[in-house]
Structure formats: C-alpha cells, structure tokens
Amino acid sequence: MLNAHYEFSPSGKIVPYVGGGIGYVYNHLDQVSITSAQDAPVATINGGGWANFGAQFGGGIAIPIRDKWFVDLGYRYFDGGKYESADKIHIASGVTQTFSRHVGDLRAHDFTAALRIAIN
C-alpha cells in the first residue's frame, strides 16, 4: 500500500495527526482441516487467495511525556476488500461435496496506544 502521514502543528502540547493509504491487497485463506474429538481427520476445505483494492485511514494524537518521548493514542480503519471460501469439502471417506461459497469483506477497526521517541 502507498501510505501518507501528516502531523499538524502542536495545539498546546498535543500533536494531532492523520494518515491514510491505498493499494493492492492480497487476502489468503488457508486450508481448513476438520477433525473428530479423537483427532481423526474428518474433512478438509481448500483455501484460496483473492486480489483486491484496499484502503485505510485514521488519525490520533501524540501527547508529550518527556523530552522527545510521546504517548500516541490513535484509530485506524482498514478495508481489505472481499474474500470467499472454496465451494468443495473433501470428506475423509473420499467423497467430495459442493456447497455454497461463503463471501465476506475483510475490514478492521484498530485502536492503538504506543510509546513514540522523536529522532531529530
């Protein structure tokens, strides 16, 4: 992803910032293995991967606590596009059955708290 970050002039001692990005996202689902309570293989569902356009944006504040040390409090929203499951389940007995694919969106809301050290 191509990202940009901007820090505003300090308002008092607090430094507000915003950021965002856009770009190529590749979502990958691993193969799912289903086992019995005794760990015997029951079935598997194949994984897959999907290329998508993705975007993220967010912002926050940096609060000074000592010379060049800050506590960051922020938020980020990420949209990684769509994914879908495979449409076949392979049962351990050798039978393969087809079912409806599960389709969804990969989205995340991140709240962060971090310690930042200014290097300048």
**What digits encode the pLDDT tens for the residues 5-28?**
999 987 778 999 999 999 999 887
Locate the domains of the chain by residue range.
Answer: 2-117
* pLDDT at residue 112, rounded to an integer: 95
- The Cα 105–Cα 50 span in angstroms is 11
- What is the value of pTM for the model shown? 0.69
The three-state secondary structure class of 80 is strand
Q: Look at the alpha carbons of 16, 22, 26, 32 in this order and tell me if their dihedral is positive or negative.
A: positive
Place of tokens 């940009």: 4
Query: Which of the residues in the chain have pLDDT under 50?
Result: none
- pLDDT the model gives residue 3: 96
pLDDT of residue 120: 77
Query: Residue 71 pairs with which residues in a beta bridge?
Result: 63, 115
